Amino acid sequence: MKKTGIILLIIIALFAWFNCSLNQSDEKTDDANLLTVDKNNLDLEEVERCFINCPKKPPIVLKAALTFAEGHILHDYFLKFEEIAEAITRGKLQVEVMPSAGSEADVNIMCSVNEVQMQATGGQALQVFAPQYFFFNAPYVIKDWDHFNRVWDGELGNEARALIEANGHMKDTGTVYRGLRQMTSNNVINGPADIVGLKLRLPVVPVWIAVWESLGAVAVPIPLGGLYDALATGAADASEGDATQILSYKLYEVQSNLTMTNHLLAVGYTMVNTDFYNSLPFAYKLVILVSSYVACDYATDKMMAGEQGTIDELIANGMVQGFPDAEAIRVQAKPAIDQLFLTEWPVTTWDEVLAQ
């Protein structure tokens, strides 16, 4: 995600200079102006000064929800967003961060209907409101973070964002690198044969279930809130997730092996409800985007810098790190993924995505 730049600062400064009454809607200004912003070298102190002399009116409250627990990188994202937005607006925008707010499905609907105003999700909005583009969040499709950004910032990403906005009433406010997803288990996983018959806890995501079942796993679809208990009680033998998920849910207490399958690039999608967003004065819209872009960069940088440290912490807590034949697992999954592009994601092909 690119940082917000000097042109955006000029827009905010001019808006504040000519119209300091930030609680008056500016119907003449639309979001097309935001599309021309060159996002580089943000000076937050300069933006903050735009709000200092504005009239004192009741603050606008923004509820920011996520399914993940405290300690997860998307919780860190929202804490940074809160810090920046409240500092820029001098408290005129108040952010209430709500970790562990429900299942991803629940939080997604809450944001769609404006019960909460923002969410940070692992792809639920794509799954529900732009399902033909859910390959962005599918195993083995996206190669790495740079590849994701090339595709997400291109035509396919534009189409996906437009569908989410039209069908789910949510506007994209940036993405966060969450790391590569791995497997946890109490049995050693060396290759495809060790997955056959494995009771694998998965989120309630049909295409993920299809891929893992094609590998012979017995899917145990359980929302994230039930992850720990499923492993502790034996309802599931294994799980898959990014390192911060594994650590924040303390899976090292109930799983002994950390298997580096690198099967999916985990991305955090941050979104704001469009009814709420469109009701705001233009300056507040800019603040939300500025704060979110910078918070996305902060969380991405933190995750990239600390991913190995998170893995090291899991090992320090007793997990044994293993390195399976990940390519053999990918090859085994290929027919299922090819079929999903034909039946679920016909807007493109796997080869076209990989070529970007």
Do residues 128 and 78 share a domain?
yes
Q: Is residue 148 part of a domain?
A: no
Domain presence at residue 256: yes
pLDDT score of 42: 52
Query: How would DSSP label each residue in 279-326?
Result: HS-HHHHHHHHHHHHHHHHHHHHHHHHHHHHHHHHHHHTTPEEE---H
230 and 346 fall within a common domain: yes
Give residue 129's Cα distance to chain centre. Answer: 15
273: left (phi over 0), alpha (psi -120 to 50) or beta: beta
Q: Are residues 206 and 225 in the same domain?
A: yes
Q: Give residue-wise pLDDT tens across range 10-29.
A: 445 434 443 444 444 444 44
* pLDDT value of position 50: 58
Domain-embedded: residue 251: yes
CATH value at residue 162: 3.40.190.170
Would you call 275 helix, strand, or coil by DSSP? Answer: helix
* Statement to judge: residues 199 and 348 lie in one domain: yes
Look at residue 145 and tell me if it is in a domain.
no
Other C-beta atoms within 10 Å of 97: how many?
19
Beta strands in 79-169 (DSSP E): 93-98, 118-121
Is residue 106 domain-shared with residue 24, that is, in the same domain? yes
Q: Are strands 238-241 and 199-202 parallel, antiparallel or unpaired?
A: parallel
pTM score of the predicted model: 0.84
Together in a domain, 192 and 216? yes
**Is the domain of 114 the same as that of 231?**
no
Residue 312 and residue 215 in one domain: yes
Are 200 and 134 found together in one domain?
no
How far apart, in whole angstroms, are the C-alpha atoms of residue 148 and residue 125? Answer: 17
Count of structural domains, the chain: 2
Res 332: pLDDT: 96
Distances, alpha carbon 59 to alpha carbons 23, 88, 99, 280, in Å: 9, 13, 22, 12
Per-residue pLDDT of 190-217, as tens digits, reads 999 999 999 999 998 999 999 999 999 9
Give pLDDT, residue 25.
Answer: 42
Query: Do residue 124 and residue 253 come from a single domain?
Result: no
Q: In which residue ranges of the chain is pLDDT below 70? A: 1-56
The pLDDT of residue 282: 85
**Residue 197 is encoded by which pair of tokens?**
């018959």
Q: Which conformational region is residue 115 in: left (phi greater than 0), alpha (psi within -120 to 50 degrees), or beta? A: alpha
Please say whether the beta carbons of 266 and 242 come within 8 A: yes
pLDDT score of 19: 44
Cβ neighbours of residue 23 closer than 8 Å, sequence gap 6 or more: 55, 57, 281
Q: Does 146 map to a domain?
A: no
Domain that holds residue 136: 6-140+155-176+268-305
Based on the domain organization, do 135 and 226 belong to the same domain?
no
For residue 203, the number of C-alpha atoms closer than 13 Å in the C-beta half-sphere is 23
